[in-house]
Amino acid sequence: MVDLFFYGTLRYVALLELVLGRASATLDVSDAELAGHGVFAVDAQIFPAIEQRIGHVAQGLLVRGLSEQDIAALNYYEGGFDYDLKDVVVQVPGGQDAKVSVYFPEPGLWQTGGEWDLQDWISNWGALTLRAAQEVMAYQGRMSAAEVAKCFPSVRTRAAAWLAAQARPGDLDHDLSKDVVVHKHKHAHLNFFSMQEVDLQFRRYDGTMSPVLNRGVALVGRAAVVLPYDPIRDEVLLIEQFRAATFVAGEQRPWMWEPVAGMIDPGETPEQAAHREAMEEAGVSLTTLEPVAQAYPSSGSSGEIIHIYVGTCDLTSRETGGGLASEGEDIRSKIISFDELMGEVDAQSYLDMPLVTAALWLARHRARLRLE
């Protein structure tokens, strides 16, 4: 049996229960303090780090009697964050000392800022972290912690997308607690995307339940798509890049002409992502964003939802763009007239659905944009 001191996100009991796979009522938990240490926010991350600091006291939870199975689960979850167990002495209520172990980050791994607050973190990131942890722990025993760690950014992106979907209005005609029955939910594959399988039944329009059906779903997250449009010159900017998906699907032209697009990061709004991606991929500073659609482009197979915009801009004033090498992007762009754009749409030359959607919206609203 092992006694551990938790100072960071695992002080959130709901997260600790999820990682361990058992209720907190089965745990021996008490408050504790680690003198000479502080817990600080990590720059550009949503978790804290502990550091030795004179005059500081790290508040935390002491959990006694953790089993080998518990430690294996914790090592799997924390191992992906480059944390190692070390022995320390903490103080428990009453002034007694207790020798315990603590997950410490690799020295110098993170750049820290101000003191970290658990309740603020729960308010801002608790729900997202719980959802992400569900996906991470589903791969224990099938993938190493290091392999899963490489996927953490996309896991969090999907968690943010799931929370956004949960926040949208429900279906007044259906009660999901009764009209959909999930018999089995399997996390089948994890990489940049997540492949999941479900065995389920749904209520048919005649009131009966369907047979048990097996369905696979590709989960990606949320994406922002923006077609840059210069209303003065009546021109749009398109980007082109290689797409592995269309290549694997058999296309002879896997280099696709598209609008600017990119994933929406956790904590980022679709509008912020659209502005960021316009600069990263095309070097364009957008003046205004015109909402076009929020839609699932392929609801029969993918859980990705896209937020499509037309962004007004001055296409004569551009910076470098071209995408991020760190994301494997190799992008070129071109500026064409509105008439050429619509001619290619009518000729069905474009294979990217968001581009066609944005172009058709622009055709309906172009006159207004040119007058503003």
pLDDT of residue 13: 95
- Binning pLDDT at 50, 70 and 90, where does residue 5 land? very high
- Binning pLDDT at 50, 70 and 90, where does residue 95 land? confident
Looking at the predicted structure, is the pLDDT value of residue 176 above 60? yes
**Secondary structure in 3-state letters for the chain:** CEEEEECCHHHCHHHHHHHHCCCHHHCEEEEEEEEEEEEEEECCCCCEEEEEEEEEEEEEEEEEEECHHHHHHHHHHHHCCCEEEEEEEEEECCCEEEEEEEEEECCCCCCEEEECCHHHHHHHHHHHHHHHHHHHHCCECCECHHHHHCCHHHHHHHHHHHHHHHHCCCCCCCCHHHHEEEEEEEEEEECCCEEEEEEEEEECCCCCECCCEEEEEEECCEEEEEEEEECCCCEEEEEEEECHHHHHCCCCCCEEEECEEEECCCCCCHHHHHHHHHHHHHCEEEEEEEEEEEECCCCCCECCEEEEEEEEEEEEEECCCCCCHHHCCCCEEEEEEHHHHHHHHHCCCCCCHHHHHHHHHHHHHHHHHHHC
- Binning pLDDT at 50, 70 and 90, where does residue 326 land? low
Domain ranges for the chain? 2-149, 175-219, 222-371
Share of the chain above pLDDT 70, in %: 96
pLDDT of residue 80: 63
The one catalytic residue in 271, 327, 329, 340 is 327
For residue 130, what are its two tokens? Answer: 């719980």
pLDDT of residue 327: 60
pLDDT of residue 110: 82
Looking at the predicted structure, is the pLDDT value of residue 139 above 80? yes
Looking at the predicted structure, is the pLDDT value of residue 330 above 70? yes
- Binning pLDDT at 50, 70 and 90, where does residue 329 land? low
- Binning pLDDT at 50, 70 and 90, where does residue 107 land? confident
pLDDT of residue 317: 84
Looking at the predicted structure, is the pLDDT value of residue 1 above 60? yes
Give the number of C-alpha atoms closer than 13 A to the C-alpha of residue 153, restricted to the C-beta side: 8
- Mean pLDDT is lowest, of 36-50, 153-167, 323-337, for 323-337
pLDDT of residue 93: 83
- Is 327 catalytic? The answer is yes
Looking at the predicted structure, is the pLDDT value of residue 325 above 60? no
For range 31-44, the mean pLDDT: 92
Any idea which architecture 2-149 has in CATH?
Answer: Roll (3.10)
Superfamily of domain 222-371: Nucleoside Triphosphate Pyrophosphohydrolase (3.90.79.10)
pLDDT per residue as tens digits for the range 201-245? 999 999 999 999 999 999 999 999 999 999 999 999 999 999 999
- Binning pLDDT at 50, 70 and 90, where does residue 29 land? very high
Listed ranges 77-81, 187-191, 327-331; the one with the highest mean pLDDT: 187-191
pLDDT of residue 167: 95
- Binning pLDDT at 50, 70 and 90, where does residue 266 land? very high
Share of the chain above pLDDT 90, in %: 82
Closest C-alpha to 98, from 61, 55, 56:
61
Q: Give dist(CA 310, CA 308) in Å, integer.
A: 7
